[in-house]
């Protein structure tokens, strides 16, 4: 699909049931048109990862996902060598007597060839020669160590990876790179400078209602509005982990599965675990009064511009 302007991006996202704000649609358009990585920060569950999945669907391209975690290194993200196959190959050469005749340089050249190269996510995204360039999702970069960010600089600056034994792999067509962060720590300035940046907010009430209606069509509009209103109220409390859009969808899905038509105190008490995942948050909501939460949900849910 050709995305010639911001309106095209918004329309394409909308067709895939992703309702983006003007700012986010603009950031996506610029990332595509300028071949720049896009760094998305925001609370968990606001749709950062989902955006990358939708973009891959729109572009009809492969989604290559690198899930970051503490301790991840280049061997796990870029490339590694298949040591067991290298060892088997070496033993075969020794058994047939070829190892001694090859010489050290040629033997090393055989062992460190593409035949034994394991392509991890970053190298796979760079070394693409056919079809539409992939969408590379570097998910939760804030969970990785500082050292790993340094590894990414070459990839995000020049879309290339250097392997000492084989040389430099450079993308013929750069992948669309989306990085996400829940901001458990600050991403370094050197990495940010190589990216476009957008903070993904929780959607406003009406947009969240529309998201629920699209993603959970079995739920009636009245319940969708009540659930969205209740989640909006929960976010205003001093919770340890405020619910994101993902939790709103989970809650609506659970209520639809239970055949619920409208919220009441008993339903909220029974299903609160689908939207809040910490005991302290459950206690805070119950201390504040579930009845008050339901009342707010009804009052806000009835409001319609």
Mean pLDDT of the chain: 92
The verdict on 192 and 219 lying in the same domain is no
Same domain, 176 and 153: yes
For 56, phi then psi, to 5°, come to -65, -40
Instruction: Name the burial class of residue 8, with classes exposed (0-12), middle (13-18) and buried (19+) by CB atoms within 10 angstroms of its CB.
Output: middle
Establish if 107 belongs to a structural domain.
yes
Asked which of 64, 87, 116 is the last residue of a domain, the reply is 116
Residues 213 and 253 in one domain: yes
DSSP state of 116: G
Helix, strand, coil distribution of the chain in percent, nearest 5: 55, 10, 35
Q: Is residue 43 part of a domain?
A: yes
Choice among 71-80, 96-105, 144-153, 265-274 with the minimum mean pLDDT = 96-105
Would the pLDDT of 87 be above 90? yes
The pair phi, psi for residue 3, each rounded to 5°, is: -115, 90
- Report the C-alpha gap between 98 and 264 in whole angstroms: 78
Q: What is the Rg, in whole angstroms, of the alpha carbon atoms belonging to the chain? A: 25
Give percent above pLDDT 70 in the chain.
99
14 touches 173 (CB < 8 A): no
For residue 1, being part of any structural domain is answered with: no
Question: 3-state class of 191 per DSSP?
Answer: helix
Name the domain boundary from 199, 216, 243: 199
Average pLDDT over residues 167-172: 91
Of the candidates 124, 142, 120, the residue with the CA atom closest to the CA atom of residue 75: 120
Range of the domain at 98: 79-116
Residue appearing with tokens 């720590």 = 185
Q: Are residues 98 and 174 in the same domain?
A: no
274 and 181 within one domain: no
Give the mean model confidence (pLDDT) for residues 252-263. 95
Tokens of 71: 């301790």
What pLDDT digit, counting tens, does each position of 29-75 carry? 999 999 999 999 999 999 999 999 999 999 999 999 999 999 998 88
Judgement on whether residues 165 and 219 belong to the same structural domain of the protein:
no
Count the domains in the chain: 3
Residues in Cβ contact with 235 at an 8 Å cutoff, skipping those fewer than 6 apart: 202, 242, 243
What three-state secondary structure class fits 167? Answer: strand
pLDDT at 151: 84
Q: Are residues 156 and 183 in the same domain?
A: yes
Q: How confident is the model at residue 305 (pLDDT cuts 50, 70, 90)?
A: very low
Nearest to 139 by CA among 184, 82, 105: 184
Same domain, 141 and 63: yes
Both 258 and 157 in a single domain? no
Which letter does DSSP use for residue 204 in this model?
Answer: P
Residue at a domain's end among 168, 199, 230? 199
Same-domain check for residues 224 and 97: no
Find the helix packing angle between 205-215 and 221-235, rounded to 10°: 130
Asked whether residue 60 falls in the same domain as residue 193, the answer is yes
- Cα 292 to Cα 33, 275, 281, 289, 297: the distances in Å are 48, 17, 16, 5, 9
Question: 125 and 25: one domain?
Answer: yes
Residue 185 within any structural domain of the chain: yes
Q: In this structure, what CATH number is given to the domain that contains residue 15?
A: 3.40.50.300
């Amino acid at each position: 699909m050709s995305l010639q302007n911001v309106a095209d991006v918004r329309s394409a996202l909308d067709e895939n049931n992703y309702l983006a704000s003007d700012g986010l649609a603009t950031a996506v358009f610029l990332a595509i048109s300028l071949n720049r990585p896009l760094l998305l920060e925001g609370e968990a569950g606001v749709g950062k990862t989902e955006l990358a999945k939708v973009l891959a669907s729109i572009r009809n391209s492969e989604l290559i996902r690198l899930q970051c975690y503490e301790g991840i290194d280049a061997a796990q993200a870029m490339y590694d060598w298949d040591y067991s196959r290298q060892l088997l190959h070496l033993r075969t050469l020794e058994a047939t007597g070829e190892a001694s005749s090859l010489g050290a340089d040629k033997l090393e050249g055989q062992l460190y060839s593409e035949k034994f190269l394991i392509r991890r996510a970053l190298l796979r995204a760079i070394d693409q020669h056919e079809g539409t360039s992939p969408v590379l999702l570097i998910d939760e970069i804030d969970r990785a160590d500082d050292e790993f960010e340094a590894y990414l600089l070459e990839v995000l600056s020049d879309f290339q990876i250097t392997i000492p034994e084989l040389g430099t792999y450079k993308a013929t067509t750069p992948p669309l790179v989306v990085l996400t962060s829940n901001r458990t720590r600050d991403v370094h300035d050197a990495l940010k400078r190589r990216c476009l940046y957008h903070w993904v907010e929780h959607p406003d009430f009406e947009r969240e209602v529309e998201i629920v209606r699209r993603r959970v069509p079995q739920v009636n509009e009245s319940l969708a509005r009540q659930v969205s209103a209740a989640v909006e109220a929960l976010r205003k409390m001093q919770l340890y982990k405020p619910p994101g859009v993902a939790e709103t969808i989970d809650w609506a899905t659970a209520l639809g599965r239970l055949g619920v038509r409208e919220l009441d105190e008993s339903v909220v008490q029974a299903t609160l675990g689908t939207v809040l995942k910490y005991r302290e948050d459950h206690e805070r909501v119950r201390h504040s009064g579930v009845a008050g939460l339901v009342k707010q949900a009804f009052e806000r849910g009835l409001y319609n511009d």
